[in-house]
Amino acid sequence: MHELAIAESVVRIASRQADGRRVTKVQMKVGYLRQVVPSALTFGFGLVAEGTPVEGAELQMEQVPAEGRCRGCGVENKLGSLPLQCGGCGGFDLEILKGEELMVESLELEEA
């Protein structure tokens, strides 16, 4: 399960940055193209966080829609489905501008 591997790296990053304090909230950005199932990621996060400083933290995900610029006609497209296709000319050769994000954006830590 791909979400479990993502959850492991999120918990690892958050634990390291927390530097001994408890994490109460983790905010992350998840691009559409990552094909992450939010409920599966939340579930995996809960499992992996057990016994770490991240245990019990809330996971907030901001979904980033996909955007791409067509290499054929230059139109910028908001991409809502796969396969990725240009709305201007119907081409499939798109430079991805957004939608591949997968990062921990911020943490909230318990007051020391």
Q: By C-beta, is 5 or 73 nearer to Zn ion?
A: 73
Q: Give the helix/strand (H/E) hosting 17.
A: helix 2-18
Instruction: Establish if 80 lies at the interface with Zn ion (CB under 5 A).
Output: no
Instruction: Establish if 37 lies at the interface with Zn ion (CB under 5 A).
Output: no
* Closest residue by Cα to residue 70 from 46, 49, 88: 88
CB of 78: closest distance to Zn ion in angstroms? 13
Instruction: Give the total of residues touching Zn ion (CB under 5 A).
Output: 8
Q: Residue 79 has what DSSP assignment?
A: E
Cα–Cα dist 88/17, whole Å: 44
Tell which one of 37, 82, 89, 97 touches Zn ion (CB under 5 A).
89
